[in-house]
Amino acid sequence: MGHIGKTVSQNVVSGSEITDGTVDTADLADDAVTQAKIGADAVGTTELANDVAISTSGNISTTGDLTVDSTLFKVDATNDKIIFNHDTNKGVLIQDAGLTDATEISFSNGTNGIRSGLITGSNLSFYTGTAGGGSATKKMEISTEGYITKPLQPMLSRFTNTTQSVASATYRAIVFDGTTYVSSGGSGISASNGDTRFTVPVDGTYYVSARIRFQNASDVNTATELKMNMNDAYRGYNYRQHNRPYESMWIDALMDMSASDYFEIWLYQASGSNQTITHTASGACQLHAWLVR
């Protein structure tokens, strides 16, 4: 044993001097291997525990957490998480979402919030929330059949539910106040100015379509115009010289719009008696809009 201790003190241990491929702690002096000899990042004998193992094939296993450079990479065994470059709610996080057959993948820069993917059963769902792990809500889902649903996609579906009359040589913004066809009349696109003006929440290309029907029991010899405006600028137009009983007019357009831009539907009649717009919940007069891209 004295010979082995001498060899260790010279920083040399040969294979022939270690029987059975084993060096017992009793064979080595307490300070036989120092941090100075193996580097500043050495793991001393007091820092190794029985729950860290290196197999003969080179596999490393541990029952505790594994951390590389504090925040660069961490396997959190206690909370079942894998974290990349994660510090103060920043980075990439893979964790158990606490649901059956669910895994969450979160991305965050610590300021603009968390974007996460959640696999629930057989579907792939996408949630967004606030930075710091605030409550996230589903924004998109892809089913196993390939169906894509976006429950908060900007969309509008309304109809006229108020009596409206257009006097001779007068423009009138049409009121679309009925909202029962689609829950709350849609989502994202807000109504104002007495339900005549509709404002979009985000930049994009929107499709807008409107239909107006006149409540006339007989022919009316008057010219009528149906206009679509965006921010008080003309974007679409339909014209009719003579209105037959219960005549309808349509208008639609694709428009590039910015957040807070708005659109309106206007009706004009050139001459003659007042023209009344059908206002029942039958859907004779409708307005639809949605974000295309």
Q: Flag whether 53 is in a domain.
A: no
- The mean pLDDT value of the chain amounts to 75
Q: How big is the CA angle at 194 (ends 190 and 196), to the nearest 5 degrees? A: 65
- Quote the tokens at residue 268: 């004009």
Residue given tokens 């809500």 in the structure block: 137
Residue given tokens 């405006």 in the structure block: 229
Residue 158, C-beta contacts closer than 8 angstroms, at least 6 positions apart: 176, 177, 178, 179, 181, 185, 186, 191, 195, 286, 287, 288
Average pLDDT over residues 222-251: 84
Q: Flag whether 203 is in a domain.
A: yes
Given this model, what pLDDT does residue 289 score?
A: 97
Q: Flag whether 61 is in a domain.
A: no
| Res 30 pLDDT > 60 | no
| pLDDT confidence tier of residue 130, bands split at 50, 70 and 90 | low
Q: What is the dihedral of CA 79, 80, 84, 88, to 10 degrees?
A: -20
Given this model, what pLDDT does residue 7 score?
A: 43
Given this model, what pLDDT does residue 39 score?
A: 47
Candidate ranges 33-47, 77-91, 256-270; pick with highest mean pLDDT: 256-270
Given this model, what pLDDT does residue 103 score?
A: 65
> What phi, psi does 185 have (nearest 5°)?
75, 15
Look at residues 100, 105, 139, 137 and name the one whose alpha carbon lies nearest to residue 120: 100
Given this model, what pLDDT does residue 246 score?
A: 75
The domain of 91 spans 66-149
Indicate whether 161 and 115 sit together in one domain.
no
| Res 68 pLDDT > 70 | yes
Q: How far apart are CA 261 and CA 273, in angstroms?
A: 34
- Quote the tokens at residue 252: 């639609």
- Write the pLDDT tens digit of every residue in 243-279: 677 778 899 999 999 999 999 999 988 777 778 888 7
- Quote the tokens at residue 171: 């423009």
Average pLDDT over residues 30-46: 48
Q: How far apart are CA 43 and CA 40, in angstroms?
A: 9
Given this model, what pLDDT does residue 75 score?
A: 80
Given this model, what pLDDT does residue 99 score?
A: 56
Indicate whether 176 and 211 sit together in one domain.
yes
Given this model, what pLDDT does residue 87 score?
A: 56
| Res 36 pLDDT > 80 | no
Side-chain-side CA neighbours of 127 within 13 Å: the count stands at 21
Look at residues 157, 137, 276 and name the one whose alpha carbon lies nearest to residue 207: 157
Of the residues 123, 149, 175, which one is the last residue of a structural domain?
149
Q: How far apart are CA 279 and CA 175, in angstroms?
A: 10
The answer to whether the pTM exceeds 0.75 is no
| Res 38 pLDDT > 50 | no
Lowest mean pLDDT of 223-227, 228-232, 268-272, name the range.
Answer: 268-272
Indicate whether 120 and 190 sit together in one domain.
no
Question: Computed from CA positions of residues 77, 80, 86, 87, in that sequence, does the dihedral angle turn out positive or negative?
Answer: negative
Q: How far apart are CA 22 and CA 89, in angstroms?
A: 46
Of the residues 97, 119, 149, which one is the last residue of a structural domain?
149
| pLDDT confidence tier of residue 5, bands split at 50, 70 and 90 | very low
> Which residue did the predictor score with more confidence, 46 or 254?
254
In the chain, how many domains are there?
A: 3
Percent of the chain scoring above 90 in pLDDT: 26
| pLDDT confidence tier of residue 41, bands split at 50, 70 and 90 | very low
- What's the distance, CA 162 to chain centroid? 37
Percent of the chain scoring above 70 in pLDDT: 62
Q: Flag whether 57 is in a domain.
A: no
| Res 157 pLDDT > 90 | yes
> Which residue did the predictor score with more confidence, 163 or 271?
163
Of the residues 149, 165, 199, which one is the last residue of a structural domain?
149
Dmax over Cα atoms in the chain, in whole Å? 121
